[in-house]
C-alpha cells in the first residue's frame, strides 16, 4: 500500500480510509542504524487463504482458545517468529511419564498377589503423586498465562536475536461490558548470543471479544491480526531501557 501522506488535522479528506495498517512514511530505526521495516513484516497478507473459524460465542473459553490459536498461527509465519515449544514439551513429558507410571503400577498390581505387590505399588503411587505435583507447580508458576514464546534471528552486521513472550487472559464481563481478551507482550532484542541488550519492550492491551466474533461465532481473523500487529510493532520499536 502506498504510504499515506499525513495532512494537517484541520483538513481531512472524505476519502481517507480509517484502516490502521498502512505503514507510516518513515520506517522506524533501531539503534544499530539499520532500517527495520517492522510494519511491512507484520501486515497481514491480503490474498491469503484462510479457513473459516467458527466457535460457540457464548463460551469465553472457546473464544479465548480460538484467539490464542489465531495468534500462534499469525506469529509463527515464516518471516516472523519461530515458536519455542518448551512449555508444551515439559507438560507433555511430565504428563505422559505419569500415565506410564500409573499404567505400569496397575499392571504390576494386577499380576502379582496383593501382599507381595504392596512395596511396588507404594513406590508407583508415590512417584505418580510427585509427578502430578510437579506438573501442577510447573503449570501454575512457570507457565502461568503464557500462550506463545517465539524467537527470531536476523543477520545485519551481527546476529540479532529477538524473543517474544505472549500471555493472554479473559477479562470477566461486567454489567456494562462484554468479556474481553487481554494480551500481554514481553519483547527482548539482544545480540552476541544474548549478552548485549539492544532493546526491550512490554505492552498490555485488552479488547472485548465482540470486536472479533460476529453473532454467528465466526472470527474476523484479519481484524485480530491487525490488532496484534499494532501491539507487536509498538513493542518491537522500543529502545533499550
Partner 1 sequence: MFADELKTLRRLGVRHVLLQVLNFTSVLASGLMIWKGLGLLTNTESPIVVVLSGSMEPAFYRGDLLFLTNPTDQRYQVGDITVYKIPGADIPIVHRVLETHDFVSKNKGLVAAAPVVDKQLLLTKGDNNHIDDIELYQGLEWLERKHIVGKVRGFLPYIGYVTIAMNDFPQLKYALLGGLGLLALVQRE
Is residue 65 part of the contact set for partner 1 (CB under 8 A)? Answer: yes
Determine the interface stretch with partner 1 among 85-93, 145-153, 181-189, 190-198 (rule: CB under 8 A).
Answer: 85-93
Residue 92 binds partner 1, judged by CB under 8 A: yes
- From 3-11, 34-42, 113-121, 145-153, span contacting partner 1 (CB under 8 A): 113-121
Q: Report the alpha-carbon distance of residue 40 to residue 229 in Å, rounded.
A: 10
Q: Among the residues of 4-113, which ranges form H helices? A: 38-42, 60-75, 86-111
User: Would you count residue 240 as binding partner 1 (CB under 8 A)?
Assistant: no
Report d(CA 241, CA 234) in Å as an integer.
14
Contact 234, 203 (CB under 8 A): yes
Q: How far is the CB of 207 from partner 1 (least distance, A)?
A: 21
C-alpha cell at 229: 500487529
Residue from 23, 67, 98, 185 binding partner 1 (CB under 8 A): 98
Least CB distance to partner 1 at residue 213 (A): 15
Q: Which of 85, 151, 158, 239 binds partner 1 (CB under 8 A)?
A: 85
Task: Confirm if 227 and 209 have CB atoms less than 8 A apart.
Answer: no
Kindly state the number of chain residues that form the binding site for partner 1, as judged by CB under 8 A.
28
The residue from 22, 31, 45, 106 that contacts partner 1 (CB under 8 A) is 106
Q: 111, 104, 143: which is closest to 127 by C-alpha?
A: 104
DSSP letters, 133-199, are HHHHHIIIIIITTEEEEEEEEEEESEEEEEEEEEEEEEEPPBTTB--EEEEEEEEEEEETTTTEEEE
Q: Using CB under 8 A, which of the segments 119-127, 157-165, 185-193, 197-205 binds partner 1?
A: 119-127
* Cell digits of residue 135: 506438573
**Residue in 118, 151, 158, 239 binding partner 1, rule: CB under 8 A:** 118
Is there binding between residue 103 and partner 1 (CB under 8 A)? yes
Give contact residues for partner 1 (rule: CB under 8 A).
51, 54, 61, 65, 69, 85, 88-89, 91-92, 95-96, 98-99, 102-103, 105-106, 109, 114, 118, 121-122, 124-125, 128-129, 132
Amino acid at each position: 500500500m502506498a504510504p499515506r501522506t499525513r495532512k494537517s488535522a484541520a483538513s481531512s479528506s472524505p476519502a481517507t480510509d480509517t484502516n490502521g495498517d498502512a505503514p507510516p512514511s518513515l520506517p522506524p530505526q533501531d539503534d544499530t542504524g539499520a532500517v527495520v521495516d517492522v510494519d511491512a513484516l507484520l501486515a497481514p497478507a491480503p490474498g491469503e487463504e484462510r479457513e473459516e473459524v467458527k466457535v460457540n460465542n457464548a463460551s469465553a473459553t472457546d473464544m479465548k482458545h480460538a484467539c490464542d490459536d489465531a495468534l500462534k498461527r499469525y506469529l509463527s509465519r515464516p518471516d516472523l517468529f519461530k515458536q519455542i515449544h518448551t512449555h508444551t514439551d515439559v507438560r507433555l513429558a511430565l504428563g505422559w511419564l505419569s500415565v506410564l507410571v500409573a499404567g505400569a503400577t496397575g499392571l504390576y498390581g494386577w499380576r502379582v498377589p496383593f501382599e507381595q505387590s504392596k512395596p511396588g505399588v507404594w513406590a508407583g503411587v508415590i512417584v505418580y503423586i510427585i509427578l502430578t505435583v510437579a506438573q501442577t507447580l510447573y503449570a501454575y508458576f512457570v507457565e502461568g498465562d503464557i500462550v506463545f514464546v517465539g524467537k527470531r534471528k536476523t543477520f545485519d552486521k551481527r546476529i540479532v536475536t529477538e524473543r517474544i513472550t505472549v500471555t493472554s487472559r479473559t477479562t470477566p464481563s461486567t454489567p456494562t461490558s462484554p468479556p474481553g481478551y487481554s494480551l500481554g507482550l514481553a519483547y527482548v532484542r539482544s545480540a552476541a548470543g544474548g549478552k548485549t541488550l539492544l532493546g526491550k519492550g512490554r505492552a498490555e492491551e485488552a479488547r472485548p471479544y465482540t470486536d472479533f466474533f460476529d453473532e454467528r461465532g465466526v472470527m474476523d481473523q484479519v481484524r485480530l491480526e491487525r490488532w496484534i500487529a499494532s501491539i507487536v510493532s509498538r513493542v518491537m520499536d522500543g529502545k533499550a531501557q
